[in-house]
Chain A
Amino acid sequence: MSAIGDLSACEAAAAFARGDITARAAVDAIAARIERFQSRLNAYAATAVEDARERAEDLDRRRRRGEALGRLAGAVLAINDNFATARGVTACGSRMLAGYHAPYDAAAVARIVAAGGIIIGKTVMDEFAAGGTTETSAVGPARNPWDPSHTPGGAAGGGACAVAARLCHGGYGSDTDGSIRLPAAFCGITGLKPTYGRVSRYGLAACGSSLEQIGPFARDARDAALLLSAIAGHDPRDATSAPLPPPDCLVPPANLPRGLRIGFPRAGCERSCEPAVLASADDACAAFRALGARIAPLAMPLLEHAAACLRVIAAAEAASNLARLDGAHFGHRTAEKAPPGGDETEFLCAASRREGFGAEIKRRILLGTLVLSSGRYESCYAKALRVRRLIKEELERAFESCDLVLLPAAPAAPFKLGEKIADPAALLRLHVFTAGANLAGVPALSFPAGFAGGLPLGVQLLAPPFGEGLLLQAGHAFQQATDWHLRAPPGVAGEEDA
Chain B
Amino acid sequence: MSVAELLTPAQVEAAARLARLLLNEGEAAAFAAQLAPILARVQALDELDTSNVAPLARLSPLANVLRPDEARPSLGADLALREAPDAAGGFFRVPRVLGEGGGA
Is A344 in the interface zone, CB < 8 Å from B? Answer: yes
CB under 8 Å from chain A, chain B span 37-67: 37-42, 44-48, 50, 53-60, 65, 67
In the bound complex, what is the Cα–Cα distance between A100 and B85 (angstroms)? Answer: 11
Is A354 in the interface zone, CB < 8 Å from B? Answer: yes
Knowing A305-B48, A382-B55, A425-B41 are in contact, say whether A350-B35 is a contact too (CB < 8 A): no
In the bound complex, what is the Cα–Cα distance between A155 and B20 (angstroms)? Answer: 25
Q: Which of A239, A348, A369, A428 sits near B60, CB closer than 8 Å?
A: A239
Q: Which of A196, A210, A366 sits near B21, CB closer than 8 Å?
A: A366
> B62 → chain A, closest Cβ, in Å?
10
Is A194 in the interface zone, CB < 8 Å from B? Answer: no
Contact A370 B7 (CB under 8 A): yes
Interface residues of B: mostly helix, strand, loop or mixed?
A: loop
CB under 8 Å from chain B, chain A span 364-398: 365-371, 373, 379-380, 382-390, 392
Contact A390 B48 (CB under 8 A): yes
Number of interface residues of A (CB under 8 A): 68
Contact A328 B59 (CB under 8 A): no
Contact A308 B21 (CB under 8 A): no
Q: Which of A236, A345, A353, A362 sits near B31, CB closer than 8 Å?
A: A362
Contact A333 B60 (CB under 8 A): no
Q: Which of B16, B46, B59 sits near A383, CB closer than 8 Å?
A: B46
Knowing A308-B41, A308-B42, A363-B31 are in contact, say whether A373-B53 is a contact too (CB < 8 A): no
Contact B92 A101 (CB under 8 A): no
Is B19 in the interface zone, CB < 8 Å from A? Answer: yes
Q: Which of B42, B80, B94, B97 sits near A103, CB closer than 8 Å?
A: B80
Complex contacts, B58 vs chain A, CB 8 Å: 210, 240
Knowing A305-B48, A308-B42 are in contact, say whether A390-B21 is a contact too (CB < 8 A): no
In the bound complex, what is the Cα–Cα distance between A101 and B80 (angstroms)? Answer: 11
Knowing A366-B31, A389-B53 are in contact, say whether A242-B60 is a contact too (CB < 8 A): yes
Contact B54 A389 (CB under 8 A): yes
> B55 → chain A, closest Cβ, in Å?
3
CB under 8 Å from chain A, chain B span 1-35: 7, 11-12, 14-16, 18-24, 27, 31, 34-35
Knowing A101-B82, A363-B31, A367-B35 are in contact, say whether A344-B95 is a contact too (CB < 8 A): yes
The contact string, 1 if C-beta is below 8 Å from chain A, for chain B 63-87, is 0010100000001000110111110
Is A171 in the interface zone, CB < 8 Å from B? Answer: no
In the bound complex, what is the Cα–Cα distance between A225 and B90 (angstroms)? Answer: 46
Number of interface residues of B (CB under 8 A): 52
> B32 → chain A, closest Cβ, in Å?
9
Q: Which of A239, A357, A428 sits near B41, CB closer than 8 Å?
A: A428
Complex contacts, A344 vs chain B, CB 8 Å: 94-96
Contact A345 B97 (CB under 8 A): yes
Q: Which of B21, B42, B79, B86 sits near A353, CB closer than 8 Å?
A: B21
Q: Nearest B residue to A100 by beta-carbon distance?
A: B83
Contact A365 B45 (CB under 8 A): no
In the bound complex, what is the Cα–Cα distance between A349 and B19 (angstroms)? Answer: 10
Contact B41 A210 (CB under 8 A): no
Contact A380 B22 (CB under 8 A): no
Complex contacts, B92 vs chain A, CB 8 Å: 328-329
In the bound complex, what is the Cα–Cα distance between A19 and B24 (angstroms)? Answer: 58
Contact A370 B94 (CB under 8 A): no
Complex contacts, A390 vs chain B, CB 8 Å: 48, 50, 53
Q: Which of B11, B23, B44, B46 sits near A370, CB closer than 8 Å?
A: B11
> B15 → chain A, closest Cβ, in Å?
4
Contact B95 A354 (CB under 8 A): no
CB under 8 Å from chain B, chain A span 303-358: 305, 307-309, 311-312, 319, 323, 326-333, 338, 344-351, 353-354, 357
> A434 → chain B, closest Cβ, in Å?
15
Contact B21 A363 (CB under 8 A): no
> B34 → chain A, closest Cβ, in Å?
5
Complex contacts, B55 vs chain A, CB 8 Å: 382, 385-386, 388-389
Q: Nearest A residue to B40 by beta-carbon distance?
A: A425
Contact A327 B41 (CB under 8 A): no
Q: Nearest A residue to B17 by beta-carbon distance?
A: A350
Q: Nearest B residue to A383 by beta-carbon distance?
A: B45
Is A424 in the interface zone, CB < 8 Å from B? Answer: yes
The contact string, 1 if C-beta is below 8 Å from chain B, for chain A 428-454, is 100000000000110000000000000
> A7 → chain B, closest Cβ, in Å?
37
Knowing A354-B23, A389-B55 are in contact, say whether A330-B84 is a contact too (CB < 8 A): yes
Contact B75 A373 (CB under 8 A): no
The 5 A-B residue pairs whose C-beta atoms are closest, nearest first, are A385-B55, A344-B95, A333-B85, A386-B50, A330-B83
Between A and B, 10 residue pairs with Cβ closer than 8 Å are A103-B79, A197-B60, A311-B38, A347-B22, A366-B12, A366-B15, A368-B19, A383-B46, A384-B42, A387-B50
Show the binding face of A for B, using Cβ within 8 Å.
Answer: 100-101, 103-104, 196-197, 210, 236, 239-240, 242, 302, 305, 307-309, 311-312, 319, 323, 326-333, 338, 344-351, 353-354, 357, 359, 362-363, 365-371, 373, 379-380, 382-390, 392, 424-425, 428, 440-441
**Inter-chain pairs besides A347-B22, A424-B38, 8 sampled, C-beta below 8 Å:** A101-B83, A330-B85, A349-B20, A350-B20, A362-B31, A369-B19, A379-B46, A386-B54
